[in-house]
């Protein structure tokens, strides 16, 4: 029993350490593309998955330390995730710098053009 608790504590600390480390551009773009994929699969409305992915992207973008700060996008995405209310325009406005970093113009482009 003690070993299980100790192992659980070690895994939790290791996971927390990874989450706090700086994010690479590749990690930001992977999270951006995942949010776009979930957004594309949404049947005409924003479902829980979109808000979850917005929260994930907010966290990853907030840890990005590249030359172009993504803090404004991260904060806007965090507000969208917390509010659980958004539309395509709000999501696109919240990801302008992330989209540019990843070579895209908008979330609708990443999601297959759904607007």
pLDDT tens digits for 50-101? 899 999 999 999 999 987 789 999 999 999 999 988 888 888 899 999 999 9
3 state SS of 42: coil
Q: Tell me the pLDDT tens digit for each residue of 24-57.
A: 999 999 999 999 888 887 655 677 888 999 999 9
Whether 112 and 35 have beta carbons less than 8 Å apart is answered as no
Q: How far apart are CA 96 and CA 46, in angstroms?
A: 19
Helix%, strand%, coil% for the chain, nearest 5? 70, 0, 30
Q: What is the pTM of this model?
A: 0.74
**Do the Cβ atoms of 54 and 35 come closer than 8 Å?**
yes
Q: What's the token pair of residue 48?
A: 């829980």
């Amino acid at each position: 029993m003690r070993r299980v608790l100790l192992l659980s504590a070690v895994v939790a600390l290791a996971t927390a350490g990874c989450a706090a480390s700086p994010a690479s551009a590749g990690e930001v773009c992977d999270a951006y593309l995942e949010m776009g994929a979930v957004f594309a699969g949404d049947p005409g409305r924003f479902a829980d998955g979109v808000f979850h992915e917005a929260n994930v992207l907010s966290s990853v973008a907030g840890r990005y330390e590249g030359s172009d700060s993504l803090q404004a996008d991260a904060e806007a995405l965090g507000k969208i995730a917390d509010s659980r209310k958004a539309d395509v325009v709000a999501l696109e406005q919240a990801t302008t710098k992330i989209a540019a970093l990843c070579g895209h113009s908008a979330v609708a482009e990443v999601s297959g053009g759904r607007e």
